[in-house]
Amino acid sequence: MDSLDLSRWQFGITTVYHFIFVPITIGLSALVAGLQTAWVRTGKEHYLRATKFWGKLFLINFAIGVVTGIVQEFQFGMNWSNYSRFVGDIFGAPLAMEGLLAFFLESTFLGLWIFGWDRLPKRVHLATIWTAAIGTMLSAYFILAANSWMQHPVGWKMGDGRAELTSIWAVLTNSTTLVTFPHTITACFLTAGALLLAVSAWHLRKGNQEQVFRPSLRLGAWVVLIAGLGVLITGDLQARVMTEQQPMKMAAAEALYENTESASFSVFTIGSLDGKEEVWSVRIPSLLSFMATGDPSGEVEGINDLQSAYQREYGEGDYTPIVPVTYWSFRLMIGFGGLAMLVALAALWFNRGERRSTSRWLWIASIGCVAMPLLANSFGWIFTEMGRQPWTVFGLFKTDQSGSPAVSTGEAATGLIVLTLLYGVLAVIEVGLFLKYARAGAPEIPADTGDEAEDRPLAFAY
């Protein structure tokens, strides 16, 4: 491997790792705000206990997410200097907005939420967590706007050998951003709902604090189902935009090599190692054409035809991504998301009313449900980024042009090893803290909660 390959591995590992925390933070912030709203409106103690319990887990996740996110931006300068010089004028604008506007908004009001218990009026305190939740979504929007520009560059011109920004409004209203944002946000809620479902199932299985965790389990399951439907609808819209802007990515998602009308979608395929020859498959007729064009009889362009077209437009080269990676990451993304919805539906059905499931396997599946959206999210991003290759910015700047010539193979290997080990240590810390406080259950509310409460603003975190 050369320094470019090592830099790609480093960025891939750190990005997938960081995105484990992002959807939990975004989804859980709004769910905690919703639970606190229920407490403010009804005065019921179990809502307050749930707010403090899930808020505790939210804060742990938020802290690790911030730490791992900082590394992302430094990598652009260290490992991807050519890319940064070429697109920095455009790519840096939404990232600066995220840092100066959205992140400061969420972190400031999150601080007010943490230290405002028993100090701020209830409704003012409630507004702080809602503002923080809105801040997390704004952060997502600006970052997705930057990434969407890499998928579909708009609002730019070429000047002095680099891309220059001509319209920040065009960048922020990129059609790719407008379909990617709702797809990502609904996936975040699906992830947070699965977390509620899993942790609540663990406590209910052990007979702990049913008055807190039965409502949390139902809330989590309903959020998984509703958000899952949102993911399906927005994903359908995103697939059509993707087919229009990056047809090679859609062709690689199906390993479709020739232009095909009424193209079927293979649920499962056994093929050659390079993905070029199919041995056996299970297919749904016309589904790929419907996903790509909205018409079951529509034509989907194949890899071979697109390769020839790209060579005519961009010059000689291989414009085909790694087909086995795109093919399986696309299916694993869909499969794990769908599996989480099935588990949520079963959990709701067998625990409806005053019923309580006696199935050991359902409880195990419900607890394991937390991993399913995380895996779906990870495979989704792998598909999104690997499917764009060989481009860093589609049709404009290639990955093999984007690295840092001054970074040696040894330096890139050192960075990869150090960051992987560091992130491994952070994973142990995160999992340890998460399990510790998740197992502890919802806190009891002291009788003196109110204006005369003890001066311990972080007391709810213990």
Nearest-angstrom CA–CA distance, 168 and 187: 27
Question: Is 413 within the bounds of a domain?
Answer: yes
Question: Is 124 within the bounds of a domain?
Answer: yes
Same domain, 198 and 127: yes
Same domain, 81 and 228: yes
> What phi-psi label fits residue 117: left (phi over 0), alpha (psi between -120 and 50 degrees) or beta?
beta
> What phi-psi label fits residue 394: left (phi over 0), alpha (psi between -120 and 50 degrees) or beta?
beta
Nearest-angstrom CA–CA distance, 135 and 269: 42
Least confident span in 131-145, 216-230, 360-374:
360-374
pLDDT band at 453 (very low <50, low <70, confident <90, very high): very low
Same domain, 216 and 356: yes
In 3-state terms, what secondary structure has residue 456? Answer: coil
Question: Is 460 within the bounds of a domain?
Answer: no
Provide the domain limits for residue 283. Answer: 247-320
Per the CB < 8 A criterion, the answer to whether 132 and 109 are in contact is: yes
Q: What is the DSSP string of 365-389?
A: HHHHTTHHHHHHHHHHHHHHHHTTT
Question: Is 44 within the bounds of a domain?
Answer: yes
Same domain, 221 and 326: yes
Q: What are the tens digits of pLDDT across the range 307-326?
A: 999 999 998 899 999 998 99
Same domain, 184 and 278: no
Nearest-angstrom CA–CA distance, 265 and 398: 30
Domain boundary among 320, 349, 371: 320
Same domain, 199 and 87: yes
Same domain, 314 and 433: no
Please compute the mean of the pLDDT values over residues 214-218 and round it to a whole number: 92
Least confident span in 23-32, 69-78, 254-263, 303-312:
69-78
Per the CB < 8 A criterion, the answer to whether 236 and 291 are in contact is: yes
Domain boundary among 260, 288, 320: 320
Question: Is 446 within the bounds of a domain?
Answer: no
What percent of the chain lies above the pLDDT cut of 90? 56
Residue 255 identity (one-letter amino acid): A
Q: What are the tens digits of pLDDT across the range 280-307?
A: 778 888 898 998 888 899 999 999 999 9
State the chain's mean pLDDT as an integer: 89
pLDDT at 455 over 50: no
Question: Is 97 within the bounds of a domain?
Answer: yes
Same domain, 225 and 280: no
Same domain, 186 and 234: yes
Same domain, 274 and 230: no
Question: Is 415 within the bounds of a domain?
Answer: yes
Same domain, 106 and 194: yes
Closest to 133 in 3D by CA, of 201, 185, 66, 77: 185
Q: Which residues make Cβ contacts (< 8 Å) with residue 170, sequence separation at least 6? A: 154, 155
pLDDT band at 190 (very low <50, low <70, confident <90, very high): very high
Q: CA 27 → CA 23, 56, 178, 288, distances in Å?
A: 6, 14, 19, 30
pLDDT band at 273 (very low <50, low <70, confident <90, very high): low
Question: Is 445 within the bounds of a domain?
Answer: no
In the chain, the number of structural domains is 2
Domain boundary among 299, 320, 341: 320
Same domain, 119 and 254: no
Per the CB < 8 A criterion, the answer to whether 256 and 288 are in contact is: yes
- pTM: predicted TM-score of the whole model, two decimal places: 0.90
